[in-house]
Amino acid sequence: GIQVEQSPPDLILQEGANSTLRCNFSDSVNNLQWFHQNPWGQLINLFYIPSGTKQNGRLSATTVATERYSLLYISSSQTTDSGVYFCAVLGQGAQKLVFGQGTRLTINP
Amino acid sequence: DVKVTQSSRYLVKRTGEKVFLECVQDMDHENMFWYRQDPGLGLRLIYFSYDVKMKEKGDIPEGYSVSREKKERFSLILESASTNQTSMYLCASSAPGARGNTEAFFGQGTRLTVV
């Protein structure tokens, strides 16, 4: 099945810094989503981005489907951005999302 | 505002008990999913359903069953709870699209502890 790899596994930054999280996938996809898991465990939708670029406030994402990767950018990080960020993909012909292992982001004040 | 609601945020059950985890969505989505999340193992799919009364096994269905009697509700059943089923359980829903399922939305999660 399709493989999803996220990097880096851990990232520690100071408040105000910018960060880039990467998601590589092993095959063509119909769907790609970025989630933020809050401290209570809920997965919060950030982007639904099978291709192209989207922006939402300080967050933006780009998926280059032909090269099988996606990037999540966080600018001017805040302590509330801390948590685990997941990339999940839906392979062609598949019905289930496959998740990467996540990037744990820690923003220190 | 889209909503997937799981019946409990925290649950403690005894070994051997029959456990029901309930999930309700208000988006009229055809597809519903149950995942479990464990440290070091990530999110793994247990079961999914693409229509009322339809179900498909995911990657780790052993020890679980599901029920989908109504479109908005998808129940996960642990027939006889065991300690290795202590985990975070996440329910999701999505709609079918022209190029596969569309955006998935998750509930708040249920932390189940089996003692």
For residue A33, the enclosing domain spans 4-108
pLDDT band at B74 (very low <50, low <70, confident <90, very high): very high
Tell me how far apart the alpha carbons of residues A65 and A42 are, in angstroms, rounded to a whole number.
Answer: 27
pLDDT, tens only, B32-63: 999 999 998 889 999 999 999 899 999 999 99
Nearest Cα neighbor of B55 from B64, B45, B46, B47 is: B47
Tell me how far apart the alpha carbons of residues A68 and B37 are, in angstroms, rounded to a whole number.
Answer: 25
Q: Which residues pair with A98 in a beta bridge?
A: A89
Token pair of B92 as six digits: 């999701």
In angstroms, how far is the first alpha carbon of chain A from the final one?
41
Tell me the mean pLDDT in the region A92-109: 91
- Taking a C-beta distance cutoff of 8 angstroms, is the pair B40, B87 a contact? no
Q: What is the largest CA-CA distance in chain A?
A: 44
Per the structure, the count of domains in chain A is 1
Alpha-carbon distances, residue A108 vs A79, B37, B63 (angstroms):
6, 26, 41
List, in order of start, the domains of chain B with CATH numbers: 4-114 (2.60.40.10)
pLDDT band at B95 (very low <50, low <70, confident <90, very high): confident
User: Tokens 């192209």 appear where?
Assistant: A52
Cβ-nearest to A31 among B42, B48, B101: B101
- pLDDT at site A92: 81
- pLDDT at site A7: 97
- pLDDT at site A9: 96
Is any Cβ of chain B less than 8 angstroms from the Cβ of A2?
A: no
Chain A partners of B104 at a C-beta cutoff of 8 Å?
33, 88, 97
Alpha-carbon distances, residue A43 vs A27, A93, B67 (angstroms):
24, 24, 23
Token pair of B1 as six digits: 């505002």
Residue B2 has pLDDT above 80, yes or no: no
pLDDT, tens only, A7-61: 999 999 999 999 999 999 999 998 999 999 988 899 999 999 999 999 999 999 9
Nearest Cα neighbor of A20 from A53, A59, A64 is: A59
- pLDDT at site A96: 85
Cβ-nearest to B109 among A33, A42, A50: A42
Best A90, A92, A101, A103 member to test B by mutation, with max B CBs in 10 Å, is A90
CATH code for the domain in which residue A44 is found: 2.60.40.10
How close A18 gets to chain B, by Cα (Å)? 26
Chain A partners of B31 at a C-beta cutoff of 8 Å?
95
